[in-house]
Structure 1
Amino acid sequence: MALTLRWRSSTTLPVDGSPLKPETFRERTSADAARVALRVGNATADVGDLFEIEGDAADGALVVEGDLTHVDKLGRGMATGSLKVRGDVGPRLGAEMAGGLLDLDGSCGDWAGAEMAGGVLRIRGDAGNSLGAAYPGSRRGMREGLILVGGSAGDDVGLLMRRGAIGVKGAVGAGLGRNMIAGTIYACGAVGAMPGAGMKRGSLVLSGLGEDAERSLSPTFHFAVRLPVPILGVYASLFHGHGFVVPPSVSSAEVDRYNGDLAVGGQGEILVAVPPSTLRLISPH
């Protein structure tokens, strides 16, 4: 079976989970895995002190289970293999990851997938603020890869995003795609204030605005045209391959295109699902 780490510690100190990724444990026995050091507060502890260990990492797969809310940076910088996490985790899950598959069956804190450079990050619960975003002072957020969230996400999703794709099934907070440089973000639920503010290029695909689009978007976005966008079907197929189903209203039908942010050149776009038409029955009386 895959190398499995089951959380057994009761510590409330922050644990640096950066070493908890498949490449750390490649070709290690269970005994060797137990001696990997983790930072706990201002001290260190061995993996074997914090986790029960079972299986081996011969197949490049790692499973981590338990209440991991005090563990941050889990899977940070992972470049290969498969990491399955069962339970809620702290901030910076999969931050700076460059490859492989990180699949979280739970929710996570802020900065998940921050400055991601490749791979797939699948979050089946909720994500915090700054999903796929740039760190404070950095000039680029997510640069490649795919992030999919089955629940909701907080503010500043895709801040300074450079490339790649993000999909969020539930609601997102304010500042979606803020200062976005390029890339694509799907938001299937409600959207917070000022989506796309300061975006230079890239695409925001919004299926939850409906008839509120004009009131929800910044006045620096200008309605351009209603049209079908075939590339949305390609993204829908990509997402579906990872268990994320995009609403048909933004995968196969016409959408309203808004160009912006005009304050910074207006080369980005927000694509809004067209509300379904309704039939009104008029009484002959």
Structure 2
Amino acid sequence: MPLTLTLTADTTIPIELEGVTPEKCAGTLASEIPRITVFEGNRKVPLGELFHISGDASDQQLIFRGDLRGVHWIGAGMRSGNIRVEGSAGRHLGSGLAGGRIDVAGDVGGWVAAEMRRGLIRVHGNAGNCAGGALPGSIRGMTGGTLLIHGNCGDEAGLAMRRGLIAIAGAPGEFAGRNMIAGTLIAGGRCGRRAGAGMRRGTLVLAGGSQSPLLPGFSYSGQLQLTTVRLLQKHLHSLNFPLEHPHLCTKMAIHRGDLASRGLGEILLPPDSTA
């Protein structure tokens, strides 16, 4: 039976679980897991004071249960194993992920998959700001791995992204792909304003179009039906993330920039979009 942590604490104070990872729990005696220290606000407390803990972590499988919207840094820095969140979670879920997989049944807060390096994170609900982006003060966002968001997400998705894949079934907010250096972000819903601001390389596939014209640093380069888009769609389908948007099967308008940053990135839009 996987190690199951059920939130029992009735508190409005933020709880931070940084360091509570499958590999750490698998290497810790079952009797010692409740004694792992975590933060409740600025106070260090044992994990067992906040969660009912049952099961076995030897197979590196963790399950979190309860209302976890105030529980942050779940799976941050993990290198292997699997985490399943049976509900919603707070911010910084999977930040710095270096391997393994995290599945969230509900919504997540900001900075999900921030500075992620490898692995896979799937969010069945919505995500907050800076999904797959850089942490405050950092110049490097996601550098690898895959982030799948089945709902919408907030502003600055893929901020300073360097590699990897972000797929959003719904609509991203403003500044998607800001300061992007490489990698791919694909969205099925209508994107917010100022997409690709400051991007230097990388690809934004905005199948649902944009709420407003692109920034003046992007120049129209024609229309093409790109094989890479079809391959990307096929890859997402293999991950049980079917992004079946009609515009992905037709020619898309290519816009290159952001020339204000001497950028060579590209934004793909439906051919009938006003850019």
For Structure 1 versus Structure 2, the TM-score category normalised by the shorter chain is over 0.9
Matches within 5 A, 1:205-284: 205-209=205-209, 215-275=212-272
> Cα distance, 1:43 vs. partner?
1.7
Match of 1:114 in 2: 114
Match of 1:283 in 2: none
> Cα distance, 1:235 vs. partner?
1.7
Encode CA deviations 1:62-119: one digit per residue, 9 max, x unaligned: 1111111221111111111111111211111111111110111111111111111111
Figure out how many residues of one structure are paired with residues of the other and give that number: 273
Q: Give the aligned residue type for 1:223.
A: Y
Per the normalisation by structure 1, the TM-score is 0.91
| Conservation of the 8 A alpha-carbon contact between 2:198 and 2:263 | no
Distance 1:42 1:206, change over 3 A: same
> Cα distance, 1:230 vs. partner?
0.8
| Conservation of the 8 A alpha-carbon contact between 2:188 and 2:245 | no
CA distance in 1, matches of 2:36, 2:192: 42
Match of 1:26 in 2: 26
Q: Secondary structure at the match of 2:163?
A: coil
Match of 2:55 in 1: 55
Q: Secondary structure at the match of 2:98?
A: coil
CA distance in 1, matches of 2:166, 2:258: 20
Q: Secondary structure at the match of 1:100?
A: strand
Task: List gaps (5 residues or longer) in structure 2.
Answer: none
Matches within 5 A, 1:53-132: 53-132=53-132
> Cα distance, 1:251 vs. partner?
4.0
Higher deviation after alignment, 9-18 or 250-259: 250-259
| Conservation of the 8 A alpha-carbon contact between 1:28 and 1:56 | no
CA distance in 2, matches of 1:11, 1:86: 19
Match of 1:14 in 2: 14
Q: Secondary structure at the match of 1:236?
A: helix
CA distance in 1, matches of 2:188, 2:72: 28
Q: Secondary structure at the match of 1:240?
A: helix
| Conservation of the 8 A alpha-carbon contact between 2:133 and 2:158 | yes
> Cα distance, 1:183 vs. partner?
0.5
Percent identical pairs in the alignment equals: 40
> Cα distance, 1:13 vs. partner?
1.4
Encode CA deviations 1:30-58: one digit per residue, 9 max, x unaligned: 32222211111222222221111221012
> Cα distance, 1:125 vs. partner?
0.6
Determine if the alignment matches structure 1 residue 175 to structure 2 residue 172. no
| Conservation of the 8 A alpha-carbon contact between 1:30 and 1:53 | no
| Conservation of the 8 A alpha-carbon contact between 1:232 and 1:250 | no
> Cα distance, 1:124 vs. partner?
0.7
CA distance in 2, matches of 1:60, 1:199: 38
CA distance in 2, matches of 1:36, 1:60: 16
Match of 2:153 in 1: 153
| Conservation of the 8 A alpha-carbon contact between 2:207 and 2:245 | no
> Cα distance, 1:275 vs. partner?
5.0
> Cα distance, 1:164 vs. partner?
0.4
| Conservation of the 8 A alpha-carbon contact between 1:72 and 1:91 | yes
Structure 1 residue ranges (4+ consecutive) displaced by more than 6 angstroms after TM superposition: none
Encode CA deviations 1:124-167: one digit per residue, 9 max, x unaligned: 11110111111222111111111110111011111111010101
| Conservation of the 8 A alpha-carbon contact between 1:99 and 1:120 | yes
